[in-house]
Structure 1
Amino acid sequence: MAEDRKTVAEINEKLKSGQAVVMTAMEFKKEVRRGHKFKVSDVDVVTTGTRGVMSGTSAMLAIPLAEHGSFKKARQMWLNGVPCILSSNTEEVTGIVEAVVYGTAESRDHHGHYGGGNLLRDLVEGKEVDLECLTSEGNTICTSITLAQLKFARLYNFRNCFQNYMAFGNFKNHRLYRENPTSIFACRPVPLMRGLTVSGSGELNPVENDRYSKVMKSGTKILLNGAPGVIVGNGTRSSPAKRCLCVAGDMADMDPQYMGGFRTSFGVEVTNGLAIPFPITDREVLDGLANCLDETIPLQIADLGDRIGIFGITYADIWKGAPLEVEFDAERCICCSFQCPAEYYCPMKAISWKDKRIDQSLCVACGACTSNCLGGAFKGKGDIPKGCMGTVHAFERDIPIIFRQSNRYRSEKAAEHLKDLMLKGEFLLSDSDLELKFWNL
């Protein structure tokens, strides 16, 4: 094995024998900041990860609805009130219906509060979901199903893991936002010059780390929501400057901590988590990782009305010293005279004012509670001003970060989980030469 070059096959042999050196992106970049100059021979794999809102999420489900010959065709179907898209021009005499669920589809029963993302997490958690189907014969079939009963359940995420998105605020009092102050990037209307919303896990993001397009190929094995998955190709809206991925994976072994619905002021959204291994095959891959630090990744601040960049910062402004979790002080929880604002605006429904608690398995540390709690019961862990998740200095003032759509805590957990699997020899690297293609640029 050459000093400055390794093959995927050689690294896999080291993984099988337990001799591979595997580091998470956090561990690797910590050493880089300390001044360590890595050689290709020093490390074999670096694991990256991200978790956040990923709108382009769907699932194909094969649902055993009724006995063979019970009906000829399904016309409409809802799962927990979430509408499904059914296969067309197919006779379903077998009683099995193929249906697509979009992560951003809203439930007819809980408009704006429950959607496809919530449904997919409920299925992965093993919960029963209510099914209603209208057949071509005019009958209505009502039953309940679980993930274990399905014949097929696979996530197809066609626009995930964006590279270097944008931070947003209400800076121009733009007409479009003034007339309709809703956005997928906020949980409530953003006051003029008084709040910033951000997306992206920065230096942990797999796409950010593959600056030379050396690692990620069509066919690359990944973890999607903690379960084995694969990169299909570039995602929709992907460009060389702002790439994203199309990925797929079976739902059977997914971990719900990386999944869920996510409510914004515009409507329901969906979250996912990805972890992608970087085999250190040559100097170029190594340098790409070493040079990808929060302080080197540019981030444009844009207005919510027109989404045009107007001020440049870096991801270090967002994540350096930032709290990765939210603390809850029950003693500061006051008796609101109306519905608890922190509970109402929590995009993951992780807060219960009645029970005086926050469900950390759901919490994504977005910070909505910190800026909406009247009693100041919620606070980012660490030395952070109350009412926000940090501040960014821009436009000659300190602007509070009031909403984050990326969960860096579970981004780190995803990378750590992948490292553990690889050290056990339970996850080996794939080797593909199928380049990711861009369409009609």
Structure 2
Amino acid sequence: MKIRSVEEINKKIKAGNANVLSAEEISNLIKEGETPKAEDVDVVTTGTCGIMSGTAAVLHVPVSDPGAFKKASKISLNGVPGFPGPCPNEWLGSVDLVIYGTSHSSEDEKYGGGFLFKDIVAGNDIEVEVESIDGKTFHKTVTVDDIGTAQMLGTRMAFKNYNSFTNPSEELISSIFHAVDMEGPFKGLSVSGCGQLNPLQNDPVMKTICAGSKILLNGAESIIIGNGTRSSPEKPNLMITGDMKQMDPHFLGGFQTGAGPEVFDSVACAIPVLDNEIFEKTFILNKDIVLPITDIRGRHSVLSSTNYGEVWDNSDERPVYHPEKCIKCDNCVVRERCPTGAYSDNLNLKKCFGCGMCVHSCPNQAFTMETGSVSFGIEDKTYDMPIICRQSDIKRARELTAELRRRIEDGSFILNNCLDKTS
């Protein structure tokens, strides 16, 4: 039964009296035994933050005066290789290019596309090197203000459902699904996904989170293009685009993994409450969301399962650093392993991702944080494993979800009429 249209919700948003709740607030009411009514809620805000390997950027970068070279054959930004084109920009002295968030710098093994994107958005100096088709080399230092176009394209973002990973073998396994080479057998679990806050967990059939929907991508008002690559009815994800010049560097960046640097992003989506069916989909609880436990050597090999209640319920957003326990090791394993470079003699909470690697790496327990644990059985044996790496950041997800709510409540974020497909 239809309750309201998008136009009616937008009128309330513009008037400053829309009723907005986050998906977590809805879930908490359900957990407490209350049943909220669709008539009382206009919009539900959702969000996620985590590694999103399908992230790329389309850039237009000035390099030299017009006429200095015909076109580029190679280009790199801070040592991260890009792909010139598709437009050749003959004799213009500038280069169109595509650069991947998963590309690795040729100069620094811990630096890659995700770290580069954060530096671009933050307005930092970017060193550009171009090799022209006739073998000449050009250098230029630019900032985001010099770059004509800086458009992010997420080819697959905000998966509804993820796998978790463990290593059942004796050998070390290198993978993008863990911050370092993963030890085994069954020494710990690496997880992704923000559970009951995740956008497509609250709209699993993409009834309102759909092509044309306005969302926030890394703080910038952006657009869902459609389903992402590898999306399926069982495992949907989103293809999204947004202007990097409007993004907040806090919400994106690089994340070092066992297979090299990756990229993380933050996404927040609004669900207009048009009818009871849409609203009731947001009643999901972490404990009811199944999280498969898979072999990190092959993500399709399911060993057992847990749920997001074990991951996020009663867990901490960030570690606490206890400097009195730090003995200043010459080869600090925490500094070496921290995926975002948040620790260097002190913990930088602005850079911290809340992954938990410091807690499970420091031999002197200089870091404390509750990251959760799971217990599961395989055949006749029971395993109790700590969650040692969280590749999703619930704190940033909550922050961007709250930012979306603020913009809706102050009337600066208006929903798209194209969402009103249920009328």
Give the TM-score normalised by structure 1: 0.91
Which residue number corresponds to residue 38 of structure 2? Answer: 40
1:391 aligns with 2:389: no
1:277-329 per-position Cα deviation (integer Å, ceiling 9, x unaligned): 01001011101001x21111111111112321121211111111011111111
Contact 1:51 1:411 in 2 (8 A): yes
SS at 1:358 equivalent: coil
Cα offset, 1:91, TM superposition: 4.2
Match in the other structure for 1:333: 326
What do residues 16-65 of structure 1 show as CA deviations (whole Å, max 9, x unaligned)?
Answer: 00111011122222222222222221010010000000000000001122
Alignment-derived partner of residue 167 in structure 1: 164
CA distance in 1, matches of 2:104, 2:420: 36
Task: Please say if residues 209 and 270 of structure 2, whose CA atoms lie closer than 8 Å, have aligned partners that are also in contact.
Answer: no
Q: Which runs of 5+ in 1 are unaligned?
A: 436-441
Alignment partners' CA distance in 1, 2:206 and 2:268: 17
Range with greater deviation from structure 2 (72-81 or 389-398): 389-398
Partner Cα distance (2:157, 2:206) in 1? 17
Amino acid aligned to 1:219: G
Indicate the residue corresponding to 1:103 in structure 2: 101
Q: Deviations over 1:189-244 (max 9, x none)?
A: 22212211111100111011112331111110000001110111111111111111
The one-letter code of the counterpart of 1:209 is N
Instruction: Write the letter of the residue equivalent to 1:316.
Output: G
Do the aligned residues in 1 keep the contact of 2:5 with 2:420 (CA within 8 Å)? no
Matches within 5 A, 1:125-274: 125-173=122-170, 178=171, 181-188=173-180, 189-274=182-267
How far does residue 434 in structure 1 lie from its aligned partner after superposition?
Answer: 10
Counterpart residue number, 1:301:
293
* Paired residues, number: 415
Q: Secondary structure at the match of 1:417?
A: helix
Task: Verify: 1:27 aligned to 2:61, yes or no.
Answer: no
CA contact (8 A) 2:86 2:97 kept: no
The aligned counterpart of 1:370 is 359
Aligned CA distance change for structure 1 residues 158 and 434 (closer, same or farther; 3 Å): farther
In 1, Cα distance between equivalents of 2:319 and 2:37 = 38
Q: Secondary structure in 1 aligned to 2:115? A: helix
CA distance in 2, matches of 1:127, 1:9: 41
> What is aligned with 2:272?
279
Aligned residue number for residue 49 of structure 1: 47
Greater mean deviation of Cα atoms: 41-50 or 130-139: 130-139
Give the counterpart of 2:395 among 406, 409, 413: 409
CA 1:212–1:239 in structure 2 vs 1: closer, same or farther (change >3 Å)?
A: closer
| Change in 2 beyond 3 A, CA 1:91/1:253 | closer
Asked if 2 retains the 8 angstrom alpha-carbon contact of 1:212 and 1:288, the reply is no
Give the partner amino acid of 1:293. L
1:155 & 1:359 partners in 2: Cα distance? Answer: 27
Cα contact 1:172–1:303 (8 A) shared by 2: no
SS in structure 1 at match of 2:4:
coil
- Secondary structure of the structure 2 residue equivalent to 1:58: strand
RMSD: 1.6
- Asked if the contact 2:374/2:386 (under 8 Å) is kept, the reply is yes
Residues 188, 388 of structure 2: 8 Å contact kept: yes
Deviation at 1:4, TM superposition (A): 5.0
Establish whether residue 343 from structure 1 lines up as the match of residue 343 from structure 2: no
Question: What is the aligned counterpart of 1:114 among 107, 111, 115?
Answer: 111
Q: Which amino acid aligns with 2:326?
A: C
SS in 2 for 1:147: coil
Retained in 2: the 8 A contact 1:217–1:434?
A: no
* Conserved? CA contact 2:67–2:91, under 8 Å: yes
AA partner of residue 362 (structure 2):
C
Letter in 2 for 1:373: C
Structure 1 distance, partners of 2:11, 2:293, is: 45
Q: Secondary structure at the match of 1:59?
A: strand
Distance in 2 (alpha carbons) for counterparts of 1:165 and 1:317: 14
| SS in structure 2 of the partner of residue 351 of structure 1 | coil
**Aligned partners of 2:168, 2:136: CA distance in 1, in Å?**
54
Q: Report the residue type matching 1:122 in the other structure.
A: D
For 1:170 and 1:276, how far apart are their aligned partners in 2? 34
- One-letter identity of the residue aligned with 1:208: Q
> Identity rate of aligned residues, in percent?
38
Is the Cα contact below 8 Å between 2:64 and 2:140 reproduced in 1? Answer: no
